[in-house]
Structure 1
Amino acid sequence: MTGARTPAYTLGGKPLTADSARRMRWTATGLLVVMAGLFVLSKQLLPVHPGWGYLNAFAEAAMVGGLADWFAVTALFRHPLGIPIPHTAIIPENKDRIADTMAQFLRENFLTPAVVARRMQGMNVAAALGDFLSAPPEPSANGDNRSRITGGAAELLAEVLESLDPDRLGNQVRSGLASQLGKIDVSPLVGRMLETAIADNRHMPLMDGFIRWAGLTLEDNEETVREIIHARANSVLRWTGLDERISASVLDGLYKLLAEVLVDPEHPLRSKIEEGLSKLATDLQHDPKTRERVEDMKRDLLENPAVAEWWLGVWERIRLSLIRRARDPQSALGEEMRKGLAELGNALREDQRLQIQINRFARRTAVGVATRYGGQIVQLVSETVKRWDAVTITGRIESAVGRDLQFIRINGTLVGGLVGLTLHFIDGFL
């Protein structure tokens, strides 16, 4: 069973842990204990030879230096030996003042508009963003060749679509579309489209398709046509069987007419249809009554509950399809996003004018944020540090700089010993 991990912090990009600081503390303490042992040993050996006096002087001064630095280092974080000596446990006792000082330092040296503008002046944000976006993706072990930003964007899109209420969002989108369509005058737009299609003969395939559809519809409903003629015929015609002949003649005539219209581009009926379409195109654009009828039809269509249900079904299929494609590493959605981001990145790298505009916008945005929200940012820093309890702030600072502080103890022990040795040497000549 593994023990709990010790919280890790970073300083200068290197991870620092409470364990590493603790090891250095034990090293410094061990060195102090060694000096104490050497002091006792050399004190016992002084009568044997005068040379032991140098070791004794070194060990004695080293203990004094090590103890003095131990007291100084310990006083920063806690009361030495638990004794509430004045001006000890400096950091825990003054954490609120430290928080305000840190925030004020941040405000005056980093978040002033002049400093932000000067720093941003030498940064090419657009080029850096272009390099990041245009970097080729690194294939992963599962074959996903999407870049991290593409994969992250796709996953974010999927999560957003999943978190939204499908019915509510579908109704909102439908209401937005209906509102926008309600503002559009559809009649002139349809009229101009129809007029342009007739002028360019783009209506001919549509007309041919309509004629074929009419022929197929007539073929599927021959019995209905025969029953209608039979019902309208008088008893004499039905008694003589002429109604059957009339029905057959009518159907044959209709088939023949549709076939002639289909194969003959110059058929008079085509001209009549084109005249009707041209008149309809003109009325859609200029006739108030026609335009009003079209607008009424549009409003009725938008307000029809069946259309609302149809749209919700369409939207749900679109939503589920987007979620599925976003989650699929092999789908075209990720590739399209990657290509789009790569094209944007290349444009940011190569277009100097675009870089100037983007960099100017980024600089103005950063200066604006510093001007408007600088005070709130430093207040957030100050309040966050103030909310930390004394143990937390002491642990974080000690973990960050504790190793260096223990080196101070070690250096104090060694330097003190060297000073004592030097003084003993000088005393021998006096």
Structure 2
Amino acid sequence: MKMLATGLLIALAVIFLFAFALQERYPWLAYVRAAAEGGMVGALADWFAVTALFKHPMGIKIPHTAIIPEKKDQIGASLGQFVEQNFLSEEIIRTKLDSMQVARKAGTWLARPEGAERVATEGAAAIRGALRVLDDDAVRDVLESMFRRHVVDPQWGPPAGRMAQRVFEEGHHHQLVNLIVDSLADWVLANPEVISRLVAERSPSWVPSFLDDLVGERVQVQAERFLLDVQENPNHQLRVALDNYLTGVARDLQEDPKTMAKADAVKEQVLDDPRVRELMTQTWTTIKNALMTAAEDPESELTRNFTSAVQDFGTRLVNDPELAAKVNGYVADAAGYLVRTYRSDIAGVITETVERWDAQETSEKIELQVGKDLQFIRINGTVVGSLAGLAIFTVASAVFG
């Protein structure tokens, strides 16, 4: 295109020379000369204008030339500001997202098996990558810190007492008491010889054996009657005493400093430092191995359940307008927050990128992108200049001729 535009200028220069030389012999060539002269003026003017955008014409540093190389940073800043004001607007982003119906489109894709499988595959890859990158010791430290903060450090007495008090007040412990009493009754019935042996072992040596047998049988009968009475009578004094005792323990766990201190002592004995560390190590190892195994096996139960859940969620996005509206709202809110908070940073990427470009290279890149149209400007200037020169000469000849 440069060669074409320059070629027209050269052609007009040649025509001008021939017409200028022969116009006295052939007067009509004066019109040709005027058209060629106007075309050359238009071509040169537009060549200067186009060239001045990208470089100094003929290397001469004329003021207000080489505009793009000289003003590169200002152009980048203006471009970034233009994008920030006209594109990174929260209102524009929300309007665009509303018209896109993000939830419905996403739901349609997720509801398809290939879409759900793709999400599951990418999710598994992300899990594997995260587990490989995570430092096991750091994770254990975090888990241990959380376990200590929420389990070890707080007092166990008051919460355990409140929980126990609620259990006892609602009578949930009665089933356990019934189970214990029933088990004792069954054992007494099944092991009469044990009671006889215990009586014999604890009686004086001078007591006759038949008397030991009589006492053992009596103890056996009384024990059976006692346990049967406890089983049949929900208001038995043993049950009442047990309820009172348990209620007192629950109250002491919340109010009595000594009882609370004993509960904390038990906690310290059960969860001392080495045990907590070992527990966290085992917990993290178990979780990590389970996740790695599930993530590496596309047929694992976790993967299948996750894929099914993704498909179900996609179907709900398509069929449930209320859910889709909520998701669209969340997406719009998130995009609005990002634009509102980081619009200047996003636009700054344009400014900083342009600033890092080499001035000459930037000029060449822009010229290559729009150069064809710029050369058409030169061609149009040549044509318009020719027509203007011919018209001016014609009018002048008619008026002053």
TM-score by length of 2: 0.62
Once the two structures are superposed, the pairs formed by residues 129-208 of structure 1 within 5 Å of their partners are 131-133=101-103, 135-139=105-109, 143-146=113-116, 159-204=129-174, 206=176
Could you tell me which runs of 5 or more consecutive residues in structure 2 were left unpaired when the two chains were aligned.
Answer: 206-216
Q: CA deviation at 1:175?
A: 0.7
Of 47, 58, 61, which residue of structure 2 is paired with 1:70? 47
Q: Which amino acid aligns with 1:169?
A: V
Deviation string for 1:302-350 (max 9, x for gaps)? Answer: 4342332222332344355557778967542783698499576533668
Per the alignment, do residues 400 and 272 of structure 1 end up closer, same or farther by CA in structure 2, a change over 3 Å counting?
farther
User: What secondary structure sits across from 1:201 in the alignment?
Assistant: coil
Distance 2:35 2:139 in 1: 80
Shift of residue 164, structure 1, vs aligned partner: 2.6
Per-residue CA distance 1:54-101 (angstroms, 9 max, x = gap): 5665455334322332232222222345x2433343332344555677
Q: Aligned pair in 2 of structure 1 residues 93, 362: CA closer, same or farther (>3 Å)?
A: closer
Task: Tell me which structure has the larger Cα radius of gyration.
Answer: 2
- The one-character-per-residue Cα deviations of 1:179-238 (angstroms, maximum 9, x if unpaired) are 2334533222222222222333333555577789999xx9xxx9xxx9xx99xx89xx9x
Q: In the alignment, is residue 332 of structure 1 matched against residue 311 of structure 2?
A: no
2:392 corresponds to: 423
Tell me the secondary structure at the aligned position of residue 137 of structure 1: helix
Quickly say closer, same or farther: Cα 1:86–1:49, change in 2 above 3 A: closer
Deviation at 1:33, TM superposition (A): 0.9
Give the aligned partner of residue 363 of structure 2.
Answer: 394
Please say if residues 326 and 333 of structure 1, whose CA atoms lie closer than 8 Å, have aligned partners that are also in contact.
no
- CA 1:56–1:414 in 2, change beyond 3 Å: closer, same or farther? same
In the alignment, is the contact (CA less than 8 A) between 2:167 and 2:173 conserved in 1?
yes
- The residue that corresponds to 1:37 in the other structure is 11
- What is the CA–CA distance in structure 2 between the aligned matches of 1:400 and 1:260, rounded to whole Å? 101
The equivalent residue for 2:255 is 286
Structure 1 residues 349 and 383, CA gap change in structure 2 (3 angstroms): closer
Q: Please, which of 324, 342, 346 is the counterpart of residue 325 of structure 2? A: 346
Count of residue pairs the alignment pairs up: 357
CA 51–330 in structure 1, closer or farther in 2 if over 3 Å, else same: farther
Give the conservation status (yes or no) of the 8 Å contact 1:61–1:420: yes
Equivalents in 1 of 2:178, 2:372: separation in Å? 88
Quick one: distance in 1 between partners of 2:117 and 2:391? Answer: 65
The aligned amino acid for 2:62 is P
Aligned to 2:281, which of 312, 329, 337?
A: 312
Alignment CA distance shift 1:164-1:90 (3 Å):
same
Contact 2:110 2:310 in 1 (8 A): no
Aligned to 1:93: 70
Change (3 A) 1:384 1:145: closer
User: CA offsets, 1:360-398, max 9 Å, x none?
Assistant: x968993xx59xx96x88887665544332234324543
Name the amino acid aligned to 2:7: V
What CA distance in whole angstroms lies between the structure 1 residues aligned with 2:14 and 2:137?
85
**Inter-partner Cα distance in structure 2 for 1:414 and 1:401:** 20
Distance 1:387 1:89 in 2: 18
Q: Cα distance 1:39–1:383, how it changes in 2: closer, same or farther (>3 A)?
A: closer
- Letter of the 1:180 partner, please give it: H
What is the distance in 2 between the residues matched to 1:350 and 1:424? 69
Amino acid in the other structure paired with 2:265: D
For residues 141 and 229 of structure 2, what CA distance do their matches in structure 1 show? 46
Output one character per residue of 1:274-303: Cα deviation in whole Å (capped at 9) or x when no partner: 555434323322332221111122233343
Q: Structure 1 CA distance, aligned partners of 2:375 and 2:358? A: 24
Equivalent-residue separation in structure 2 for 1:212 and 1:69 (angstroms): 110
- 1:249-268 alignment, distance < 5 Å: 266=234
**2:382 corresponds to 1:406:** no
Please say if residues 58 and 418 of structure 1, whose CA atoms lie closer than 8 Å, have aligned partners that are also in contact: yes
Amino acid corresponding to residue 138 of structure 2 in structure 1: R
Say whether the 8 Å CA contact 1:170–1:312 is kept in structure 2: yes
Q: Structure 2 vs 1, CA of residues 35 and 91 (structure 1 numbering), >3 Å: closer, same or farther?
A: closer
Which one has a larger percent helix, Structure 1 or Structure 2? 2
TM-score normalised by structure 1 residue count:
0.58
* Alignment map for 1:207-226 (pairs within 5 Å): none
> For residues 407 and 31 of structure 1, do their structure 2 counterparts lie closer, same or farther at Cα, with a shift above 3 Å needed?
closer
Matched, 1:303 2:250: no
Gaps of 5+ in 1: 1-25, 238-248
Cα distance in structure 1, aligned partners of 2:230 and 2:285: 41
CA distance in 2, matches of 1:268, 1:188: 28
SS at match of 1:85: coil
Q: Corresponding residue for 2:212? A: none
> CA shift at 1:178, angstroms?
0.8
C-alpha change, 1:325 and 1:428, in structure 2 (3 Å) is: farther
Question: In the alignment, is the contact (CA less than 8 A) between 1:77 and 1:92 conserved in 2?
Answer: yes
- Is the CA contact 2:117–2:307 (under 8 Å) kept in the aligned structure 1? no
Which letter maps to 1:77? F
Distance 1:30 1:349, change over 3 A: closer
Deviates more, 1:141-150 or 1:301-310: 141-150
Please give the alpha-carbon distance, in whole angstroms, between the structure 2 residues aligned to 1:100 and 1:350: 33
